[in-house]
Amino acid sequence: MTGNQADLAIIVPVLNEIETLPSLLNHLQHWQQRGAEIVLVDGGSQDATVKTARNRGFRVLQAPRGRALQMNAGARSTRASILVFLHADTRLPDDADQRVLSTLTGVAQGWGRFDVRIEGRSRMLPVIAGMMNWRSRLSGIATGDQALFMTRDLFERIEGFPEQPLMEDIEISKRLKQLCQPVCLRQKVITSGRRWDTRGCWPTILLMWQLRWAYWRGTPPEQLAERYR
């Protein structure tokens, strides 16, 4: 690892993102200008997501629908030694590339995540974000909203994200933890609180905990994905 921004790739799974795409592309352009490789992976959008992103000069791959499948395809399309997996509604802090590169250079840990701040109307969102960060730091399990990052070596050793429709972030964290503990950066990514705002904070919290409990008990992720929609 050279510590150069060119060694870092940001992989973004997208699906019908046209409403918020301008904001996402403006954000990604910042990292592109800093030397990071940007790979968008489309899961079969029916809107103008792919055309718009390509017209802006971004590389867009096609893959089967599903975040895990899309992120695996994006990671395997690049030679970068460090991979950052970014959800389309999440924004990185301004110095994220430097933070990740310096964190993973010359240390035993080969993966990690950021703290998260949830942006939205509900007054509960700061509490929810604080609990997510605390739980993640305590358990060593990261969520996709926290912008997972890892070395290519670790990604390949665990054979990428498990190809399942939900809880792929929890499962990959469990597999990575078997190799080394995560680095938990206190710098915050900002993610959308739209789901909490539109469906209600307490119903969403309850649903998330029910899904996690069911997954821990062995319920197939395919069944959980039906409940999550």
Q: How confident is the model over 157-185, as pLDDT tens digits? A: 999 999 998 999 999 999 999 999 999 99
Where does residue 145 rank: exposed (0-12), middle (13-18), buried (19+ CB within 10 A)?
Answer: buried
Say what the pTM is. Answer: 0.92
The proportion of the chain whose per-residue pLDDT surpasses 90, expressed as a percent, equals: 75
Q: What is the mean pLDDT of the chain?
A: 92
Which domain, by its residues, includes 190? 5-228
The string of pLDDT tens digits covering residues 41-90 is: 999 999 999 999 999 999 999 999 999 999 999 999 999 999 999 999 99
CATH code for position 223: 3.90.550.10
73-76 — which CB contacts under 8 Å span 24+ positions?
73/41, 74/9, 74/11, 74/12, 74/13, 74/39, 74/40, 74/41, 75/9, 75/11, 75/152, 75/155, 75/160, 76/160
Residue 4: pLDDT over 80: no
Domain count, the chain: 1
**Could you tell me if residue 66 is left (phi over 0), alpha (psi between -120 and 50 degrees) or otherwise beta?**
left
Angle, to 10 degrees, between the axis of helix 125-139 and the axis of helix 201-216? 20
pLDDT at 2: 42
Give the separation between CA 206 and CA 212, rounded to whole angstroms. 10
Q: Considering Cα of 116, then 117, then 120, then 123, what sign does the dihedral take?
A: positive
The string of pLDDT tens digits covering residues 122-150 is: 889 999 999 999 999 999 999 999 999 99
| Confidence band for 16, pLDDT divided at 50, 70 and 90 | very high
